[in-house]
């Protein structure tokens, strides 16, 4: 009876651990679809070691709690992103996010979608155009930081974003659907999403591509990106 009890305890503990892991995974996926729409002044926190950059060498990073992404000005987006620029000719800034395609695009995402997203799956890029400065492009409560990036770093970042966008046979973008926010749109991405390569991994890889001292290995959660900043 004693060993039977231990076996039952271990089985229950393993089951509880699996359920907790699944729940955390679903929360993580749902975080990569966190709303970050235009709505009012954001909570703008500039780190002590970070300085304001010139308009053509600044990169903004936003943290929506579980989800992180980037903001670039029109001047920072070069020829590799011309297709995005043409779709919003009056925008001054562009908010970039990446996530699981089915979950991110769903009007009412389900837990089943969240579970499916834990395994290698298709992804999508959400781009939102904004005519205002970044602190006015987000709802209250979204944290922002601005980083100084070299011109070469911005160019490499543009290439990374372009690589995230899936192209058609003639090199054209593949729009999927209007986004959930004003002046936003989903574009197909050829990158794979899973529990170990999330929206926050994508952000960290983008910052690394820009030449910033950020490591993307093992990054899954938003806090892992934010703490490195």
In which residue ranges of the chain is pLDDT below 50? Answer: 1-24, 38-56
- The conformational region for residue 181 under phi > 0 = left, psi -120 to 50 = alpha, else beta, is beta
pLDDT at 171: 86
pTM: predicted TM-score of the whole model, two decimal places: 0.81
pLDDT at 209: 97
Q: How many CB atoms lie within 10 A of CB 142?
A: 25
pLDDT at 163: 97
The per-residue pLDDT for range 84-99, each reduced to its tens digit, is 999 999 999 999 999 9
Distance, in Å, from the CA atom of 67 to the CA atom of 72, rounded to the nearest integer, reads 17
Domain ranges of the chain: 27-228
pLDDT at 29: 54
For the chain, the straight-line distance linking the first and the last C-alpha, in angstroms and rounded, comes to 54
CB-CB contact of 211 with 152 (8 Å): yes
Distance, in Å, from the CA atom of 6 to the CA atom of 210, rounded to the nearest integer, reads 52
């Amino acid at each position: 009876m004693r060993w039977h009890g231990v076996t039952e305890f271990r089985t229950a503990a393993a089951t509880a651990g699996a359920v907790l892991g699944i729940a955390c995974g679903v929360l993580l996926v749902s975080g990569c679809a966190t709303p970050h729409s235009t709505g009012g002044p954001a909570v703008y926190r500039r780190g002590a070691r970070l300085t304001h950059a010139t308009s053509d060498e600044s990169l903004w990073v936003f943290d929506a709690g579980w989800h992180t992404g980037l903001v670039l000005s029109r001047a920072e987006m070069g020829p590799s992103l011309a297709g995005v620029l043409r779709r919003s000719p009056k925008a001054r800034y562009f908010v970039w996010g990446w996530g699981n395609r089915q979950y991110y695009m769903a009007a009412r995402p389900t837990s089943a979608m969240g579970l499916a997203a834990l395994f290698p799956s298709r992804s999508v890029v959400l781009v939102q155009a904004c005519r205002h400065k970044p602190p006015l492009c987000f709802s209250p409560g979204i944290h922002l930081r601005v980083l100084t990036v070299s011109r070469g770093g911005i160019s490499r970042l543009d290439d990374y974003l372009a690589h995230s966008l899936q192209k058609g046979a003639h090199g054209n973008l593949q729009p999927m659907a209007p986004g959930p926010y004003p002046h936003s749109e989903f574009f197909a991405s050829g990158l794979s999403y899973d529990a170990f390569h999330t929206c926050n991994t994508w952000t960290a890889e983008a910052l690394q591509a820009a030449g910033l001292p950020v490591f993307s290995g093992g990054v899954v959660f938003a806090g892992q990106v934010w703490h490195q900043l």
